[in-house]
Amino acid sequence: MESPFKGDILKGKVALLTGGGSGIGYEISVQLGKHGASIAVMGRRKNVVDAAAAALRSQGIKAVGLVGDVRKQDDAVRVLESTVKEFGKLDILVNAAAGNFLVPAEDLSPNGFRTVIDIDSVGTFTMCREALKYLKKGGTGKDSSSGGVIINISATLHYTATWYQIHVSAAKAAVDSITRSLALEWGTDYDIRVNGIAPGPINDTTGANKLVPEGLSVETEPLFKLGEKWDIAMAALYLASDAGKYINGTTMVVDGGLWLSRPRH
């Protein structure tokens, strides 16, 4: 679907996306790129980030693939340095890397719980922390007029409770809390806006395939529509661009109203 935004709203911006090589993260990479941003894609698998960067370049987008695991602080530092070396600065950080599997709480080992917290929560904090010196007002390579933008991809699992998702629910609750704390501290001190997006089940993603193995159905969705990766990317464009310049510390739910719904009676 055609974007309703003008093609130059992110002209001259530089974005780094963790988990940007596949799924929702890749679609956000495409849309930020199509609207003018240069894109650094970070992921654990070299073949995935290289293929993503090549696909972006084939669409006329400046892009580079960088291998790294958000659980490793050294990787975070190195990937951020490489991004700034490649494109001269950093304006936008999107934390889209996430781990997930369905497991009943009684069968989940503490290490399994910790692994998802490490990726989603600690990984998000680590990337934000290491990106700060580039994102802050007057940071490396930036003009002195404004700070950067952080977008943390969350979920709605923890608004109520979700079967077999104790680890991811806890991890995303922490992500939302990180979003608010950084919005307060870094918004005030450095003019950095920190927001989140909470997607519902989105068609054709690893997350939805894992959580709803039988497939998403229009019968059970409100608004009789399935969520698309495009819907999440449009929210990211809104938050990353000047359209969202007064938005800080919020997590925007993009789920068609699903988390509110109950069966009809």
CB of 170 to ligand HXC, least distance (A): 12
In this complex, which beta carbon is closest to ligand HXC, that of residue 30 or of residue 198? 198
**Residue 148 tokens, joined:** 């950067």
Q: C-alpha distances in angstroms, 151 versus 27, 81, 147, 197?
A: 14, 19, 14, 7
From 9-17, 134-142, 202-210, 215-223, give the range in contact with ligand HXC by CB under 6 A.
202-210
Q: Applying CB under 6 A, does 99 fall inside the site for ligand HXC? A: yes
Q: In what side-by-side order are the strands of the sheet with 14-18? A: 63-67, 38-43, 14-18, 92-95, 149-153, 193-199, 251-254
Inter-helix orientation angle 123-135/166-190, to 10°: 20
Q: Applying CB under 6 A, does 211 fall inside the site for ligand HXC? A: yes
Q: Applying CB under 6 A, does 109 fall inside the site for ligand HXC? A: yes
Q: Applying CB under 6 A, does 168 fall inside the site for ligand HXC? A: yes
From 96-104, 175-183, 184-192, 233-241, give the range in contact with ligand HXC by CB under 6 A.
96-104
CB of 25 to ligand HXC, least distance (A): 9
Among 33, 123, 207, 244, binds ligand HXC (CB under 6 A): 207
Dist. CA 51–CA 183, nearest whole Å: 33
CB of 112 to ligand HXC, least distance (A): 3
In this complex, which beta carbon is closest to ligand HXC, that of residue 65 or of residue 123? 123
Neighbours of 265 (CB within 10 A): 3
Q: Applying CB under 6 A, does 111 fall inside the site for ligand HXC? A: yes
Asked if 127 and 72 count as a contact pair (C-beta separation under 8 A), the reply is: no
Q: Applying CB under 6 A, does 100 fall inside the site for ligand HXC? A: yes
From 102-110, 217-225, 228-236, 238-246, give the range in contact with ligand HXC by CB under 6 A.
102-110
In Å, how far from its chain's centre is CA 68? Answer: 16
From 99-107, 143-151, 186-194, 237-245, give the range in contact with ligand HXC by CB under 6 A.
99-107
Neighbours of 262 (CB within 10 A): 5
Dist. CA 247–CA 265, nearest whole Å: 38
- 63-67 and 193-199 strand pairing: unpaired
Dist. CA 214–CA 217, nearest whole Å: 9
CB of 70 to ligand HXC, least distance (A): 11
In this complex, which beta carbon is closest to ligand HXC, that of residue 20 or of residue 201? 201
Beta strands in 45-108 (DSSP E): 63-67, 92-95
Among 67, 116, 178, 233, binds ligand HXC (CB under 6 A): 116
Residues that bind ligand HXC (CB under 6 A): 98-101, 103, 108-109, 111-112, 115-116, 155, 157, 168, 201, 206-207, 210-211
